[in-house]
């Protein structure tokens, strides 16, 4: 009995959590979870921070980044990796440029406005863009790692962003908790042979 190495390689490529989830009785559930996890943080940040960043720019960027991440995980072609990582790098450079050219005094004024409940402007836009980039990059991980890892990672990132915004040491413990859970998850995953 001979086995075709190409057949074995092609079936191995389509195994793992992504395809187990898609072959389940609810194949649309992981895709729906990816969509919700990628769109919810930008929507919350845009609303709560009163960001005036146009939705016609923000949400298409989130959707395109998420779709590229999902397609990259399902199809696994080198050119999708290049396109996906180039887009993520480009968006990260835009955000970094915005963070660097915004004067420190603007951050101080924005912090005072946040404490007064009147936050808005460039800093609100920057935090909304950071949340959008992280959520649209982390959410597609659901297809390859399951639900828990992306939720822990996004919880860590969003709690850290919140701590940076409100400048409160009270958020140290939730950040530490998420960090410990992330480390435990990666430690247990390595012992059981999961990625």
Tokens 């950071």 correspond to 130
- pLDDT-above-70 percentage for the chain: 83
Average pLDDT over residues 80-94: 91
DSSP string, 1-41: ----HHHHHHHHHT-SHHHHHHTSS-THHHHHHHHHHHHHH
pLDDT value of position 25: 59
Euclidean distance between CA atoms 4 and 166, whole angstroms: 59
Q: Which residues of 76-89 are buried (b: 16+ CB within 10 A; e: fewer)?
A: eeeebeeebeebbe
Average pLDDT over residues 20-26: 58
Average pLDDT over residues 18-37: 73
pLDDT at 173 over 80: yes
- pLDDT band, very low/low/confident/very high, at 63 (cuts 50, 70, 90): very high
**pTM for this model (two decimals):** 0.79
pLDDT value of position 183: 92
pLDDT at 12 over 60: no
- pLDDT-above-90 percentage for the chain: 55
């Amino acid at each position: 009995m001979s086995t075709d190495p190409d057949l074995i390689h092609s079936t191995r490529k389509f195994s793992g959590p992504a395809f187990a989830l898609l072959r389940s009785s609810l194949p649309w559930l992981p895709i729906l979870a990816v969509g919700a996890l990628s769109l919810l943080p930008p929507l919350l940040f845009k609303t709560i921070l009163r960001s005036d960043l146009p939705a016609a720019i923000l949400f298409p960027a989130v959707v395109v980044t998420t779709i590229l991440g999902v397609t990259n995980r399902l199809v696994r072609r080198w050119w999708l990796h290049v396109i996906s990582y180039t887009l993520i790098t480009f968006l990260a450079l835009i955000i970094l440029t915005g963070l660097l050219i915004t004067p420190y005094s603007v951050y101080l004024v924005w912090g005072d406005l946040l404490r007064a409940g009147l936050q808005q402007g460039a800093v609100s836009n920057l935090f909304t863009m950071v949340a959008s980039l992280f959520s649209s990059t982390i959410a597609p991980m659901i297809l390859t790692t399951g639900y828990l890892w992306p939720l822990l990672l996004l919880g860590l990132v969003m709690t850290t962003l919140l701590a940076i915004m409100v400048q409160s040491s009270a958020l140290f413990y939730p950040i530490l908790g998420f960090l410990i859970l992330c480390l435990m998850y990666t430690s247990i995953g390595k012992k059981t042979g999961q990625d």
